[in-house]
Structure 1
Amino acid sequence: MTAPAAKAGPLAGVRVLELGSMYAAPTCGRMLRDFGADVIKVEDPTSGDYARQWTPMKNGQSFGFARLNSGKRSVAIDLRSDGGRDLVRRLAAQADVVIENFRPGRMDAWGLGYQTLAADNPGIVVTSVSGFGQTGPYKEKPGFGTVAETGSGFAYINGWPETPPTSPPFGFADSISGISAAMGTAMALFRRERTGQGDHVDVSLYEPLMFIVGDMIMNYTGTGFVQGRVGNGTGSASPRGVYQAADGKWLSIAASNQGIAKRLFAAMGRPELIEDPRYATNEVRMQHNDELQEMVVAWVAERPRDEILKVLDEYEVVCSQVNDASDIVEDPHFQERTLVELTGSEALGRVLMPGPVLHFAGEAAPVYDGVPSIGEHTDEVLTELLALSSGEISALAEAGTVRSGKVAVPEL
Structure 2
Amino acid sequence: MSNDLLQVISRDLLCDLKVVEVSHSIAGAYCGKVLADLGAEVTRFGPDTAAIVSAGTADALQEVLHGSKACEPLENVAGHPALAAANLVIIETGGTTIGYPELVNDFKAREGIASAATLIVITPAADIAGELPGCGLTSAAWGSMSWAIGERSRMPLTLPYDIADYLVGVNAAAAAALAAASPAKSGRDIEVSGRDVLAYIVGMLAPHHLAYGRPWSRSGRRPSMSGGVYPCGLFSCSDGYVVIYCRSNHEWRGILAAMGDPEWSREERFSDPRVVAREHADEADSHLLPWLARHSQDELMALALDRGFAVGPVKSLDEVLGDRQFAHRQAFEAISAGRAATAGSPVVAPRMPWLLKELDTSQKPHAAPVTRPPADCQPQEPSSYLGGLRVLDLSWVWSGPMVTSILVDFGAEVLKIEHPSHLDSVRLRGRPIINGKPIEGPEVEVSPWFNQLNHGKRSVTIDIKSPEGQEQIRRLAASCDVVVENMRPGVLDRLNIGYRDLAAANPGVIMLSMSMVGQTGPLSQMKGYAGIMSSMAGLESLVGYVSDGGEPDIVGMMMTALGDPNAAIHATTALLSAIVRQRRTGRGCWIDLSQIEAMLSVMPAPLLQHQVEGDVPILGNRHTLYAPHGHFPCKGQDSWTAICIRTDEQWRELVDKSGSGGLARFRDLDSAGRLRQVSEIESAVAEWTSGLPRDQLVNELLAIGVAAAPVNSFEDMTGSAWKAERAFTMNVKHPFLGTREVFIPPWRFDGRLSGVNIPAPILGADTAAVLDKMARDGGAVRQAVGH
Range class of TM-score, shorter chain = 0.7 to 0.9
Secondary structure of the residue aligned to 2:384 is coil
> CA, structure 1 residues 304+218, in 2 after alignment: closer, same or farther (shift >3 Å)?
same
* Counterpart selection for 1:275 from 668, 671, 681: 668
1:90 to 1:220, Cα distance in 2 relative to 1, 3 A: same
Q: State the Cα distance separating 1:233 from its structure 2 match.
A: 2.8
Do the aligned partners of 1:91 and 1:386 also contact (CA within 8 Å) in 2? no
Amino acid at match of 1:337: R
Kindly indicate whether residue 401 of structure 2 is the aligned counterpart of residue 8 of structure 1. Answer: no
Contact 1:23/1:171, CA 8 A, preserved across alignment: no
Equivalences for residues 129-168 of structure 1 within 5 A: 129-160=514-545, 161=547, 163-168=553-558
Q: CA deviation at 1:314?
A: 1.6
Q: Which moved more, 1:332-341 or 1:313-322?
A: 332-341
Taking structure 1 as reference, are residues 47 and 118 closer, same or farther at Cα in structure 2, changes over 3 Å only? closer
SS in 1 for 2:764: coil
Q: CA deviation at 1:272?
A: 7.8
Among 195, 206, 220, the residue aligned to 2:585: 195
Q: CA deviation at 1:223?
A: 0.9
- CA gap of 1:142–1:262, structure 2 versus 1, over 3 A, is farther
Mapping 1:208-357, distance limit 5 Å: 208-228=598-618, 230-234=619-623, 237-248=626-637, 249-256=639-646, 260-261=650-651, 263-269=653-659, 273=666, 275-276=668-669, 280-281=670-671, 283-357=672-746
SS in 2 for 1:133: coil
CA distance in 1, matches of 2:494, 2:570: 26
CA RMSD of aligned residues (A): 2.4
CA distance in 2, matches of 1:273, 1:140: 56
* Residue 507 of structure 2 is aligned to residue 122 of structure 1: yes
Matched, 1:94 2:483: no
* Pairing 1:44–2:419 present: yes
Shift of 1:267: 3.6
Contact 2:652/2:668, CA 8 A, preserved across alignment: no
Contact 1:15 1:37 in 2 (8 A): yes
Instruction: Confirm or deny: 8 A CA contact 1:25 1:178 kept in the other structure.
Output: yes
CA distance in 2: counterparts of 1:233 and 1:295, whole angstroms: 15
Q: What's the TM-score, normalizing by structure 2?
A: 0.46
**Closer, same or farther in 2 for the Cα pair 1:358/1:77, shift >3 Å?**
same
- C-alpha distance 56-31 of structure 1, shift in aligned 2 (>3 A): farther
State the one-letter code of the partner of 2:596: Y
Decide whether aligned partners of structure 1 residues 308 and 84 sit closer, same or farther in structure 2, where only a CA change above 3 A counts. Answer: same
2:81 is aligned to none
| Residues 1:262 and 1:223: Cα distance change in structure 2 (over 3 Å) | farther
1:151 & 1:234 partners in 2: Cα distance? 24
Closer, same or farther in 2 for the Cα pair 1:83/1:287, shift >3 Å?
farther
Distance of aligned partners of 1:272 and 1:369 in 2 relative to their CA distance in 1, 3 Å threshold:
same
Query: What residue identity is the alignment partner of 2:397?
Result: M
1:34 aligns with 2:406: no
SS in 2 for 1:369: coil
- Return the match for 2:747 from 358, 364, 373: 358
Alignment match of 2:459 (pick from 74, 78, 85):
74
Following TM superposition, by how much is the alpha carbon of 1:12 offset from its aligned partner in structure 2, in angstroms? 1.2
TM-score normalised to the size of structure 1?
0.85
Distance 1:108 1:383, change over 3 A: same
Q: Secondary structure at the match of 1:344?
A: strand
Letter in 1 for 2:500: Q
The residue that corresponds to 2:574 in the other structure is 184
The one-letter code sitting in structure 2 at the alignment partner of 1:348 is L
Unaligned runs of at least 5 residues, structure 1? 1-5, 390-412
Aligned to 1:74, the other structure's residue is in SS state strand
Match of 2:564 in 1: 174
Q: How far is the alpha carbon of 1:259 from its aligned partner?
A: 5.8
Q: Tell me which of 384, 393, 396 is aligned to 1:21.
A: 396
Q: 1:360 to 1:123 in 2, by over 3 A?
A: same
Q: Is the CA contact (8 Å cut-off) linking 2:730 and 2:755 kept in structure 1?
A: no
**Other-structure match for 1:406:** none
In 2 relative to 1, CA 384–164 (structure 1 residues): closer, same or farther, beyond 3 Å? same
Residue deviations 1:224-277 (CA, integer Å, cap 9, x gap)? 11333x33334554211111112332221122466654544444356884632x
Counterpart CA distance in 2 for 1:368 and 1:232 is: 38
